[in-house]
Structure 1
């Protein structure tokens, strides 16, 4: 198995802030906040060498670790996203950087990790 490093992104926004429903067109579109988060996440990933890790084709396994925000006293904040809420946001942002299409994902592991100062999201993709 190929061991690839984690890419560390900023704490994600919720799915409800990432997309909006266009009633007239009956479609789901990214919000301005969603576009901004995605652009920032992609820039961070590229700055950490993500493009060199990209799995161009074939099935992949993705691993995601949500790191909650830490309160000023060092304890984890009681307010955090549900783990499943951050998955689609993170994978959408990494499409075209760590993999070509999210249909390539055949294995997915996710967990909540230790709290860090501003919160974060760690993503790793490897061939399945």
Structure 2
């Protein structure tokens, strides 16, 4: 089973990922990637290439996302006041927000299309420094049942 782990920049919020505009001569708005989204995708592509990934996995994949918010300067005071849950109010994008942006930025680079993501796990981690996301993509090998089992 092949697996790849990448440390990527903190993702752009899905709220800022898309841009809606009114094309000239049309009566309905159109939606496109924002300049922030395009820049993020370029960063991810450069990291994937530096990691030596030449082609995306074929077929099914599992994706594990560890989202690390930025550790605030007052983290020690927060931790002293509330040791178990000090990071609950640290600014962080929602996991589901991060998932869409990350899957979209990895599409065509690490896996062919996000339709092949069959397992998705995400976790917001305790801030330990700079904001980032650690993504592990694992190819899912499907065992083929013996044809004789399905014979009538």
| C-alpha displacement of 1:52 | 4.8
| Root mean square deviation of aligned Cα | 2.0
1:13 is matched with which residue? 12
1:54 aligns with 2:46: no
1:103 aligns with 2:115: yes
| Normalised TM-score (structure 1) | 0.85
Structure 2 unpaired stretches of 5+: 77-86, 141-152
1:69 is matched with which residue? 70
Q: Please tell me whether the aligned partners of residues 2 and 139 of structure 2 are also in contact (alpha carbons under 8 angstroms).
A: no
1:33 aligns with 2:36: yes
| C-alpha displacement of 1:72 | 2.2
1:22 aligns with 2:21: yes
Residues of 1 paired with 2:2 and 2:112: CA distance?
19
| Normalised TM-score (structure 2) | 0.72
Residues of 2 paired with 1:87 and 1:20: CA distance?
18
Q: Deviations over 1:4-60 (max 9, x none)?
A: 2420001111001111223555443100111011111221222123x15731x2111
Q: Please tell me whether the aligned partners of residues 7 and 133 of structure 2 are also in contact (alpha carbons under 8 angstroms).
A: yes
Which secondary structure does the structure 1 equivalent of 2:134 belong to? strand
Residues of 1 paired with 2:115 and 2:36: CA distance?
25
Bigger radius of gyration: 2
Which secondary structure does the structure 2 equivalent of 1:44 belong to? helix
Structure 1 unpaired stretches of 5+: none
